[in-house]
Amino acid sequence: MLDVSGLNVFYGQAQALWDVSLSVAGGEVVSIVGVNGAGKSTLVNTIAGLLRPASGRISMSGVDVARVPGHRICEHGIAVVPEGRRILPQMTVRDNLDLGAYRPGARRASQQRIEWVHSLFPILWDRRNQMAGTMSGGEQQMLAIGRALMSDPQLLLLDEPSLGLAPVIVDTIFDVITQIKDRVSVCLVEQNILRALKISSRGYVIVEGRVVLGGTSEELLANEDVRRACLGL
């Protein structure tokens, strides 16, 4: 499904990603883990079409999307939940969800999809008429994920969904990720390495803009370097 190969990304003269390659197949949750500043958001923003790679390939279901702009990436089956969520605070929860289904193909089946999203996050039904900006951070994260699912993606790209949230809320969000994976593949970018790997089949470790390790989550969790560098064990 998603195949990234040899990706090099710069901010001006400064290189942020070096020869990054990774893949996500159908039905998988794949984690991309690394500490603060490793290059995770740069990778998400490049796949999302917000940054142009200097070189390398990003292929989604066989189509090269490396030069597709951010506002058109959802047409290729990729939905992105950026760090900081970017929900529309002055609109209701329901209107935010409806906005996620704006592309024509997604609109057709939006009634079934909104019922699915409400079944995953019942709080979004309870709060449907509330202004999104008045909800808690965890509820806003659920809304951001729900809105992304409304575009009927094949791949959900999540940038640090656990950031700043209470462990009980993270549990809810990570439970939903495991529930949806048969319908939508998930690429989970996280600093919360232990928890991310626990719900993933595979993972990649990014250090200073390079993928230094990749493997099954069990392999990564057992790796001494990962345990030392990332888990503080």
Binding site residues, ligand ATP, CB under 6 A:
11, 14, 16, 34, 36-42, 191
* Shortest Å, Cβ 42 to ligand ATP: 3
* Shortest Å, Cβ 18 to ligand ATP: 11
Q: Indicate the residue among 29 and 43 with the shorter CB distance to ligand ATP.
A: 43
DSSP secondary structure code for residue 211 in this structure: E
Q: Indicate the residue among 50 and 88 with the shorter CB distance to ligand ATP.
A: 50
* Shortest Å, Cβ 114 to ligand ATP: 31
* Shortest Å, Cβ 139 to ligand ATP: 22
E strand intervals along the chain? 2-11, 14-24, 29-33, 55-60, 63-64, 78-81, 155-159, 185-190, 202-207, 210-216
Q: Indicate the residue among 38 and 143 with the shorter CB distance to ligand ATP.
A: 38
Q: Indicate the residue among 32 and 93 with the shorter CB distance to ligand ATP.
A: 32
Cα(72)–Cα(86) distance, rounded to whole angstroms?
17
Sequence-ordered list of residues with C-beta below 8 angstroms from that of 49, at least 6 positions apart, any chain: 65, 68, 69, 70, 71, 72, 73
* Shortest Å, Cβ 157 to ligand ATP: 13
Sequence-ordered list of residues with C-beta below 8 angstroms from that of 183, at least 6 positions apart, any chain: none
Q: Indicate the residue among 38 and 48 with the shorter CB distance to ligand ATP.
A: 38
Strand, coil or helix: 136: coil
